[in-house]
Amino acid sequence: MGRRAAAFALLAGTCLSAPVSADSFRCDGALVQTGDPAVSVRAACGEPSFVDPWIGGSSLAYGVAPSMEQWTYNRGPNRLLRILVFRNGRLQAIRSDGHGFRERAGASDCRPSDIVRGMSKYRLRQACGEPAQRSGGVFVYSSRRDLAGRTYYQRRGRVPVFRERWIFNFGPNRFLREVTLENAMVVDTETLDRGYDE
């Protein structure tokens, strides 16, 4: 009985310390919560720093995925970066993505080691700029779920995800890096051939 209690306590502690999506947050004094229409969120919070339309979700009916859009609000290094996921025009999920930062105005000094699993598409674009090549942008089924940099595999069923592949060129002294994104998050990186001068 003691082992079961210890295992339960460990499991409970792990669950409580894991990142959890919030149902609401304060945005410039107004309360924004899941279920709100996108127009109300924009009126309360203003224009997002980054808008990314993608297809995903937890269900697929008759081969048609729900309309999904992800908004990122970056209010600087003293506040949390917020990611808002909309499904068919309604706020479905609110996540934090660490502290915000000052956006870069000039050229990027990105290195291959800067690209890590769990990184949001917004952080990737801010760190490394636009990729040399984009491909994919397709809807696939996956049993893998990536949350806060951790990978989980579902025992049953698969979920629809929007998968993209970006290739970054770091010049002739480094290798090309292919980055796989699922639902606007980095899930894998792969080293390719040597880069080139642009």
27 and 82 in one domain? yes
Query: Residue 1 — pLDDT band, cuts 50, 70, 90?
Result: very low
The whole-number pLDDT of residue 181 equals: 93
Q: Which domain holds residue 123?
A: 112-194
Distance CA 87, CA 70 (A): 9
pLDDT, mean over the chain: 80
| CATH code of 143's domain | 3.30.1450
Query: Residue 164 — pLDDT band, cuts 50, 70, 90?
Result: very high
- Let me know: does 38 contact 25? Beta carbons within 8 Å: no
Using DSSP, state whether 65 is helix, strand or coil: coil
Which of 108, 113, 107 is closest to 175 using CA atoms? 113
29 and 89 in one domain? yes
Distance CA 82, CA 71 (A): 8
Cα distance between the two ends of the chain: 65
Identify the domain boundary among 36, 69, 99: 99
Q: Is the pLDDT of residue 78 over 70?
A: yes
The residue that leads in pLDDT, 1 or 154, is 154
Residue 4 falls inside a structural domain: no
Identify the domain boundary among 76, 99, 122: 99
Distance CA 168, CA 192 (A): 10
94 and 23 in one domain? yes
pTM score: 0.74
